[in-house]
Structure 1
Amino acid sequence: MSTLLARLGSHSFRHPARVLAVWLLILMAVIALVLSTDGRIRSSVTVDGTPAQEQLDRIRAELPDAGGAQGSIVFRAGDDTPLDAAELGTVAAAVRAAEGLDFVVDKAARTAQRQAELQARAQSPQQLQTMTAMLGELQRGTDPQGRPLVLDGTPVPGVTLSVDGTIAVYDVQLSDALDDLPPGVADELMEAVDGQLAGTALQAYPSDSLLPLEPPVGGHELVGLAVAAVVLLLTLGSLVAAGLPLLTAVTGVAIGVGGAFGLSGFYTMTSTTPVLALMLGLAVGIDYALFILHRQRSLILHEGMSAHDATRRAVGTSGTAVVFAGLTVIVALLGLLVLRISFVSTMALATAATIAIAVSLSVTALPALLGLVGERVVGKRARARAAAGGKAEEHRVDRGWARALTARPLVVIVGVVLALGLLALPVADMRLGMPGGGAASESSPERINHDLTARALGEGANGPLLVAVEKPAGEPDLAGVRATLDTLGGFEGVASAALRGTSEHLEIYALTPVTGPLAPETTDLVHDLRDAGYGVTGLTAINIDLSQKLADAVPLYLSIIAGLSLLILLLVFRSVVIPVAATLGFLLTIGATFGVTTLVFGTVLSFLPIMATGILYGLAMDYQLFLGTAMREAYVHGATPREAVVEGFAHASRVVVAAAVIMISVFGVFVLTDDITIRQFGLTLAVGILIDALLIRMVLIPVVMSRAGRAAWWLPRWLDRALPRLDVEGSALRN
């Protein structure tokens, strides 16, 4: 492996124009693809094979209109006083303006149609009046929270007032999923509503399901890049050298994320997909290039190699570690495909592809750029310091730290385990869910909508359930509907139940739980309804099923990534102890990381634990590979086990710390975004890298390896003969 990569690095260095031309053509092809296709961000996700998804598909087949996006717009006066008659009239006008749009379902027209159907069925004016009153009562439901908006004796369909009259909630239904409507309809809807509110004290706030679909990226990435640039400059000591990892990382992200957008017409791309690929692509792209550059610089300064020979050796040794590190991350991501959840699979594939591109750029484009730079990659001052004998002084502090750690192994091991155990305690209170508007920033429209809806209609109004009930063919039996409503309303945890629609074979009821969508009591209600034979769906039920499906898949997923990653580490280190210790250390990382995440957010995204576990496992093994290969290289070339740990630590620790700081800064800046999904990913990955790189890989693992002595490098003879030799330490290159 090292020989092959060394040849690749040498070829790229000697023929930079050819190599860079290939990458430039790839970049131009991706740009052309993006410009020629209609890349779309989608909000709707499907969780195939779950009860909620099956019921939703059936309802959409029976009632096509029910398949459209749903949400709400909340109205209130600026001074929070009860809405007067003029303001209520303005709310009604805003509703008419909204329902005058082609893509909004006109509830008033539906009501008129139902009235005409009843008139055709009624045999007398008295019967028509009775049937109309009964249908209106059934649609209002049992124990309704709030009261209907009535103007001139006629209810305004879809609008509910709070009991104190300060808030009006308009239930919006679109004719199709927001993803399938033309771009800009969300803005068009709010422009129509706000146009009616001009000159009044009224304010309107849409729910998160009615907001424009945009990837949650802004200027945060630039902050991370700025921190990375400073760290690179301090580590590499040259503006030219510091710029190369940034260039290759940005190019890799442009190709990876651009490709994801260009191909988004063939799959469902959520707003999280490009951001996750961007986040990880930048972090690993910079780090992988840094490891190779740092090794090249060290070979030039301390072994007197030319830029070409140093590049060849660096790509053959550190480049091999980069390839296996990237492979470990990719394996962890591709393991997510076993979940068979479409949006999770697309996130995994897009991110894995971006990381594969970052690895490829590091071992091809980076050596080509080094070929263009030549000997200028290391400045004259750095060469002068090295010539004056600065090598030993450069690593003096690192060696001292390593020797201090290994001198008191039991104290260090117990201290690290106890500290991480304390951080892991909040995991016992972790709640999984899909936080919606309630998790957004307090000043955002979706958060205000969520809070006002809860105040007006109760917490459960933010997570209604849809219940499908079989019915005989023909017109609905109003008496039977009333009996069903009474039954549904009698379930513990139901605040109100109302008829929402009927088809040839189904009656659709809307249930408002007493508790919010993330409450355990709401989950219990869904299970109780299903146990009684009712089909339950809606966004809340889908999220409950998603959380359960992810929880069920965790053992299989962890088995797959742990098995494959252990195999990779076994091949690289030719040791039994190191892969096992690395994996056990990672378990400490995961416990502490999710303890911090739970402490900060309370409710954790249902798919965050399994995705972050896979990503962090791959990234943690990166640092294990870079530190471990440096230690193995020292051991293979004659150092004692303890001195191999000290020497390997001294040579790799600074670049590992620099790489960890870069990764933490790139992940950490995403905590500043308003998107709760990206915020949780950013914090979790930043904390995970902080704990794993600086406590597990830089403290615990070196101490364990030193304590183990020669056993750290033990491998059964039969296994040693069976495993192929990868030569990660570059022995063939030295010979």
Structure 2
Amino acid sequence: MASLLYRLGRMSFRQRRYFVLLWVAVLAACSFAALSAPTAEEDGFSIPGTESQKAFDLLDERFPGDNAEGADARIVFAAPDGQKVTARENRAAVEKVVDTIARGSQVEDASPPFAPNAVSEDATTAFATVTYSVSSDELSEATSAALMDAVEDGRAAGLTVEVGGSVVDGGPELGGVTELIGIAVAALVLFITFRAMVAAGLPLITALIGLGAGVCVIVAAGMSTTTITLALMLGLAVGIDYALFIVSRYRAERAGGHAPEEAAGRAVGTAGSAVVFAGATVVIALAGLSVAGVPMLTDMGLAAAGTVVIAVLVALTLLPALVGFFPQAVLPRAQRRTATAPSTAPSAVPAPAPGKESGPESRKKPGKESGKEPAGSRWARFVVRRPLATLLLSVAGLGAVAVPALDLQLTLPGDEAQPTSTTQRRAYDALAEGFGPGFNGPLTIVVDTRGADDAKAAVAQARTALTATDGVVDVSPATFNEAGDTAIISAVPSTGPSASATKDLVRTIRSEATDLKATSGASMWVTGQTAMNIDVSNKVTAALVPYLTVVVGLAVLLLMLVFRSVLVPLKAALGFLLSVAAAFGVIVAVFQWGWLADLFGVAQTGPVMSMMPIFLIGVVFGLAMDYEVFLVTRIREAHVHGESPTQAVVTGFRHSARVVVAAAVIMIAVFAGFIGMADSMIKMLGLGLAAAVLFDAFVVRMTIVPAALALLGHAAWRLPGWLDRLLPDLDVEGERLTRALATEHPAPAAASSREESVNA
């Protein structure tokens, strides 16, 4: 693979104009396809195989036309303190608001605001439901404006008026001020790392190009806009990081005396090989999200995986092409003035590693700078001198951070998780206060009487059982379909939609269905938004262990291929589990327990988003393997060349620590940028990923890994002979490429002496 990528890197550099034009054409084609694609359908909440989905499908079959996907709005009215909403003036104001909305062009129906069960017992709160003939994303601006104008008229009359429902559910946030700050931090880190404006700018430019192409492909494929958020996060982060590694390796190859084209080929052949492997792990982990069996989760994973694939292709082809236009400008200023291009033919001079930008700079006057040991190697020496204490302290620290994860509770929250500044959250709170917390999450009970001798008697028995069930505060009359063989009953719980007691209630009602079936022959199913949320949480939770097993097993296998070792992959997998556990601990502490909730803008504490753990595991797995590969390959390379295990750790850190730290800081900055967004899932995902990268890069990879390698010694790099023969050699470090180039093109003496000076 390294030889193939070496040739690709040289060709991209040499034919740079054609490659740039190719990517411009690709981006233009993707943009045209996205603009020409029909509007994606509104997200369907489908969870195949669950009881709530089966009941929903039964409703579609038995009540045709009654489950149209039109938008809905619930208008909530609250009277001023000390007044009742049924007072004459307040009543007139409420009716005027509803009448105004009902006259809208896209309105299909509006329920009376003072219908039975639409006014709270204390008469302080009332609501009306408005349904539209089109979905929320098809509502015209005039219809939305008419709704909000009528609401403002009600507020002007002295009422508190709030709106809930799908009509006010905005699309996913695609960016914000904090995300721009994250990009700015990434730019600053790149400039500090490279000390050259062009070298800092190229990773940003290529990442944005890849991200633009990826998002356009998602839109052109007709995927829902909710799939874009994860693609934005990962596409931007890995796009910058992959380009960072290749640019850094190019500069190192130039410092080793190679001509620009040769340096580009070697950079893509070596660092590019690691990029391909790292990208493959991320793609596999994201595609594996389909194991949960939730279509929305599968779509998000595939969309993000596609964006990562594009980021890898951009790094391997467009980046070396752009470097070809600025072969000198990407170098440090001092090296730029003295850098020469001796020959385009490959030379065998081994390059110093990224982060050690030597060459002409190393021939400065003797002084502090020329003899100063890099911070990475100083840190590695500190760790390998005290490996056991460092290892125990790091593991104990991550374990302490992970303790809150033992209390992890999962759910799919609704409007209660919205910020209090939103009208849908205020509508939710008003209904909960006026009608009880369970009013926002009624359960829909579907009774199929085709197997019953007496349909009406069977439904009456079901209503009686529901009324007598603890935790149910209200049961509606049954509504039959035209055929009279299916009935719908609404049951209002005493607790909120995301409460654990509501989950217990759903299980209780489903267990009662067995008794109903035995005595009457009728089947009873529980569905509705609350039940579907509970089923999604249960399904995703059940998939966590199998998914984690697959991911960890894959990590061990892939790292065996890379490092030709058994203990190194096991150590890497255990470190990954520590990072994930600590990240879960942070999420639970902030979003569930409320620690530092105000600092992170968490409007409502409660159970964690049910899809968060499996997202976090998949993404962090890929990123953890990135740092493991880029860091440990250098350590293994030094050990293979004869250095002792502890000295190999120091050498590897001297070559790669600076770049890995820069990559981690960029990742953290990009992910942290999403913390400032209003959507609770995006905020949670941003904080979780930022924390996971922080723990994995700085505690696991930069501390636990060198300590463990120092303790394991030579045993860390042993692989049984039979397994060595069985596993293919991927040559991620490009060792065979280097040997082949050394054989075909003996190193020039001048270049060799220069390299000796560089390494001095």
Both structures adopt the same fold (TM-score exceeding 0.5) = yes
Q: CA distance change for structure 1 residues 431 and 459 in 2, over 3 Å: closer, same or farther? A: same
Hey, what does 2:493 align to over in structure 1?
513
Q: Given the alignment of the two structures, is residue 89 of structure 1 paired with residue 92 of structure 2, yes or no?
A: yes
Q: CA distance change for structure 1 residues 715 and 184 in 2, over 3 Å: closer, same or farther? A: farther
Q: Displacement of 1:350 after TM fit?
A: 0.5
Q: Given the alignment of the two structures, is residue 372 of structure 1 paired with residue 325 of structure 2, yes or no?
A: yes
The SS at the match of 2:329 is helix
Q: Given the alignment of the two structures, is residue 75 of structure 1 paired with residue 73 of structure 2, yes or no?
A: no
The separation in 1 between residues aligned to 2:116 and 2:204, in whole angstroms, is: 53
Q: Displacement of 1:435 after TM fit?
A: 1.5
Q: Displacement of 1:184 after TM fit?
A: 5.0
In 2, are the aligned partners of 1:499 and 1:507 still within 8 Å (CA)? no
The separation in 2 between residues aligned to 1:560 and 1:101, in whole angstroms, is: 53
Query: Please, which of 277, 282, 307 is the counterpart of residue 236 of structure 2?
Result: 282
Q: Given the alignment of the two structures, is residue 98 of structure 1 paired with residue 56 of structure 2, yes or no?
A: no
Q: Displacement of 1:217 after TM fit?
A: 2.2
The SS at the match of 1:40 is coil
The SS at the match of 1:74 is strand
The separation in 1 between residues aligned to 2:100 and 2:292, in whole angstroms, is: 44
Q: Displacement of 1:226 after TM fit?
A: 0.6
The separation in 2 between residues aligned to 1:78 and 1:443, in whole angstroms, is: 19
Hey, what does 2:582 align to over in structure 1?
592
Hey, what does 1:524 align to over in structure 2?
504
The SS at the match of 2:326 is helix
Q: Displacement of 1:171 after TM fit?
A: 3.4
Deviating more after overlay: 379-388 vs 462-471: 379-388
Q: Deviations 1:678-712 (Å, cap 9, x if unpaired)?
A: 11111111111011111001100111011111111
Q: CA distance change for structure 1 residues 558 and 80 in 2, over 3 Å: closer, same or farther? A: farther
The separation in 2 between residues aligned to 1:90 and 1:616, in whole angstroms, is: 54
**One-letter amino acid matched to 1:573:** F
Q: Displacement of 1:75 after TM fit?
A: 1.8
The separation in 2 between residues aligned to 1:438 and 1:559, in whole angstroms, is: 34
Q: CA distance change for structure 1 residues 574 and 10 in 2, over 3 Å: closer, same or farther? A: same
The SS at the match of 2:476 is strand
The SS at the match of 1:516 is coil
Hey, what does 1:136 align to over in structure 2?
none
Query: Please, which of 671, 677, 680 is the counterpart of residue 676 of structure 1?
Result: 680
Q: Displacement of 1:386 after TM fit?
A: 3.5
**One-letter amino acid matched to 1:624:** E
In 2, are the aligned partners of 1:642 and 1:706 still within 8 Å (CA)? yes
Q: Given the alignment of the two structures, is residue 571 of structure 1 paired with residue 572 of structure 2, yes or no?
A: no
The separation in 1 between residues aligned to 2:240 and 2:451, in whole angstroms, is: 64
In 2, are the aligned partners of 1:339 and 1:550 still within 8 Å (CA)? yes
Q: Report 1:654-673 matches (<5 A).
A: 654-673=658-677
Q: Report 1:435-584 matches (<5 A).
A: 435-471=413-449, 484-499=462-477, 501-503=479-481, 504=483, 505-533=485-513, 534-584=524-574
The SS at the match of 1:218 is coil
The separation in 1 between residues aligned to 2:302 and 2:450, in whole angstroms, is: 46
Query: Please, which of 149, 163, 185 is the counterpart of residue 206 of structure 1?
Result: 163
Q: What residue ranges of structure 1 are gaps of 5+ in the alignment?
A: 112-148, 150-155
The SS at the match of 1:361 is helix
Q: CA distance change for structure 1 residues 394 and 278 in 2, over 3 Å: closer, same or farther? A: farther
Hey, what does 2:342 align to over in structure 1?
none
Q: Displacement of 1:107 after TM fit?
A: 5.6
The SS at the match of 1:161 is coil
Hey, what does 1:224 align to over in structure 2?
182
Deviating more after overlay: 86-95 vs 678-687: 86-95
Q: Deviations 1:477-526 (Å, cap 9, x if unpaired)?
A: 98886664333121111111113632122221111101111111111111
**One-letter amino acid matched to 1:95:** V
Hey, what does 1:604 align to over in structure 2?
608
The separation in 1 between residues aligned to 2:231 and 2:386, in whole angstroms, is: 41
Hey, what does 1:706 align to over in structure 2?
710
In 2, are the aligned partners of 1:317 and 1:730 still within 8 Å (CA)? yes
**One-letter amino acid matched to 1:87:** N
In 2, are the aligned partners of 1:43 and 1:178 still within 8 Å (CA)? no
In 2, are the aligned partners of 1:98 and 1:192 still within 8 Å (CA)? no
The SS at the match of 2:477 is strand
The SS at the match of 2:731 is coil
The separation in 1 between residues aligned to 2:334 and 2:568, in whole angstroms, is: 39
The SS at the match of 2:328 is helix
The separation in 2 between residues aligned to 1:408 and 1:177, in whole angstroms, is: 63
The SS at the match of 1:26 is helix
Query: Please, which of 262, 269, 280 is the counterpart of residue 309 of structure 1?
Result: 262
The SS at the match of 1:364 is helix
Hey, what does 2:348 align to over in structure 1?
none
Q: CA distance change for structure 1 residues 174 and 334 in 2, over 3 Å: closer, same or farther? A: same
The SS at the match of 1:106 is strand
Q: Report 1:151-190 matches (<5 A).
A: 156-157=114-115, 160-175=118-133, 178=136, 181-182=138-139, 187=144, 190=147
The SS at the match of 1:536 is strand
Deviating more after overlay: 688-697 vs 479-488: 479-488
The separation in 2 between residues aligned to 1:586 and 1:422, in whole angstroms, is: 16
In 1, are the aligned partners of 2:246 and 2:267 still within 8 Å (CA)? yes
Q: Displacement of 1:359 after TM fit?
A: 0.6
The SS at the match of 2:421 is coil
**One-letter amino acid matched to 1:414:** L
Q: How many residues align?
A: 683
In 2, are the aligned partners of 1:260 and 1:274 still within 8 Å (CA)? yes
Q: CA distance change for structure 1 residues 186 and 431 in 2, over 3 Å: closer, same or farther? A: farther
Q: Deviations 1:224-248 (Å, cap 9, x if unpaired)?
A: 1111100000001111111100011
Q: Displacement of 1:363 after TM fit?
A: 0.8
Determine what percentage of the aligned residue pairs are the same residue: 40
Q: Deviations 1:145-168 (Å, cap 9, x if unpaired)?
A: xxxx6xxxxxx3377223333322
In 1, are the aligned partners of 2:231 and 2:303 still within 8 Å (CA)? yes
Q: CA distance change for structure 1 residues 507 and 192 in 2, over 3 Å: closer, same or farther? A: farther
The SS at the match of 1:668 is helix
Q: CA distance change for structure 1 residues 428 and 633 in 2, over 3 Å: closer, same or farther? A: same
Deviating more after overlay: 658-667 vs 303-312: 303-312
> TM-score scaled by structure 2?
0.85
Q: Displacement of 1:174 after TM fit?
A: 4.4
Q: Deviations 1:260-286 (Å, cap 9, x if unpaired)?
A: 11211xx5x252x10110111000000
Q: Report 1:236-385 matches (<5 A).
A: 236-264=194-222, 267=223, 269-271=224-226, 273-301=227-255, 303-382=256-335, 385=361
Q: CA distance change for structure 1 residues 53 and 480 in 2, over 3 Å: closer, same or farther? A: closer
Q: Displacement of 1:338 after TM fit?
A: 2.3
Hey, what does 2:356 align to over in structure 1?
none
The SS at the match of 2:47 is coil
The SS at the match of 1:626 is helix
Q: Given the alignment of the two structures, is residue 55 of structure 1 paired with residue 55 of structure 2, yes or no?
A: yes
Q: Deviations 1:594-628 (Å, cap 9, x if unpaired)?
A: 01101111111111101210111111110001001
The SS at the match of 1:375 is coil
Q: What residue ranges of structure 2 are gaps of 5+ in the alignment?
A: 337-359, 514-523, 593-606, 743-760
Q: CA distance change for structure 1 residues 615 and 394 in 2, over 3 Å: closer, same or farther? A: farther
> TM-score scaled by structure 1?
0.88
The separation in 1 between residues aligned to 2:140 and 2:412, in whole angstroms, is: 25
Q: Deviations 1:138-195 (Å, cap 9, x if unpaired)?
A: xxxxxxxxxxx6xxxxxx337722333332222344456546x556587256236426
Q: CA distance change for structure 1 residues 431 and 172 in 2, over 3 Å: closer, same or farther? A: farther
In 2, are the aligned partners of 1:158 and 1:171 still within 8 Å (CA)? no
The SS at the match of 1:374 is coil
Query: Please, which of 633, 636, 643 is the counterpart of residue 647 of structure 2?
Result: 643
In 1, are the aligned partners of 2:444 and 2:528 still within 8 Å (CA)? yes
Hey, what does 1:118 align to over in structure 2?
none
**One-letter amino acid matched to 1:681:** L
Hey, what does 1:685 align to over in structure 2?
689
**One-letter amino acid matched to 2:187:** A
Deviating more after overlay: 617-626 vs 632-641: 632-641
Q: Displacement of 1:212 after TM fit?
A: 4.4
Q: Displacement of 1:76 after TM fit?
A: 2.6
The SS at the match of 1:729 is coil
Q: Displacement of 1:200 after TM fit?
A: 1.7
